[in-house]
Chain A
Amino acid sequence: MNSDVEEMSDSLVRIFENVLLTEEKSLSRGYFSDLSLAEMHTLTAIGPYEAKNMSQTAQLLGITTGTLTVSIDRLVRKGYVDRRRDDRDKRIVRISLTREGKLACRMHSKFHRVLAKRILEPYGTDDRDRLLTLVKAIDKHVEGLLQRYEGTEEENSIRKTARQIVIETDDKIKKKETEDNG
């Protein structure tokens, strides 16, 4: 029989992978199949309401403004993001979602909400409270682990890996677009 530690370890990895896979699959079969999961998360970081600036959005996503610029270029071309210079300070670039971008963002938020709703559904109020307390404790613990790497070589290497994944995903999308058009 597996020890508690092994069961916990297996479950954590499985949950992480399966949520990501489910998101990707639901996205590719839905109304917004021209968006990658990374692009959808960029839309979510911008949010459906007031315009954001590039650096605060990049910070929220844990990427550099350079990487964000590449992603925003593509989202502007696809019609999901509107980019304009700040009226008062021309050095600042403001990004906001178009109507189509708002729709995509809200549909994706709904996906997360439905997932959470289904997980909580079988439980009564007391069990829900206990479950939420435990999940929040896990969240806090993992957040703390990440903070240990802030600004270190390891973090830079993690960011590099994340950027590499973004670049590879972009290449895959471009290849697919070329295949679809050709």
Chain B
Amino acid sequence: MDDPSGPRERNNDDMLKRKDMIFDDIVRELTQTLNMSPTDITVDLSLRNDLILDSLQLYELVIDMEEAYNIRLPDELLDEIDTIQDVVDLVYKLTE
């Protein structure tokens, strides 16, 4: 039987799945760095203000994401980042 969902819905599902994967990777990284429970990490948390990541911890996350997704996250792009959702969106955009 044909898939009842149209191409737009399928694209949307793919996007959400990929964003979920990126989020999971970030959670894994942050739980190791900050010794937090994965359930405490949500997309709306601010990296600097809520999780209080210092520059070194932020660069650790950035370097690991660069290697995992084969992308470049220069400082000019990092200036725009506040929440975990911002990181997810940026990584998704760069790997599209």
Which A residues form the contact surface with B (CB < 8 A)? 31, 48-49, 99, 102-103, 106-107, 109-110, 113
Contacts and interface: CB of A to CB of B under 8 A. Distances in A.
B29 to A, nearest CB: 13
Interface of B: 55-56, 59-60, 62-63, 72, 75
Nearest to B60: A103
B56 A109 contact: no
A99 B67 CA distance: 10
B63 A48 contact: yes
Given A31-B56, A99-B63, A109-B75, 18 more contacts: A48-B63, A49-B72, A102-B59, A102-B63, A103-B56, A103-B59, A103-B60, A106-B59, A106-B62, A106-B63, A106-B75, A107-B55, A107-B56, A107-B59, A110-B55, A110-B59, A110-B75, A113-B75
Contacts of B63: 48, 99, 102-103, 106
Q: Which of B62, B63, B72 has the most CB of A within 10 A?
A: B63
Contacts of B72: 49
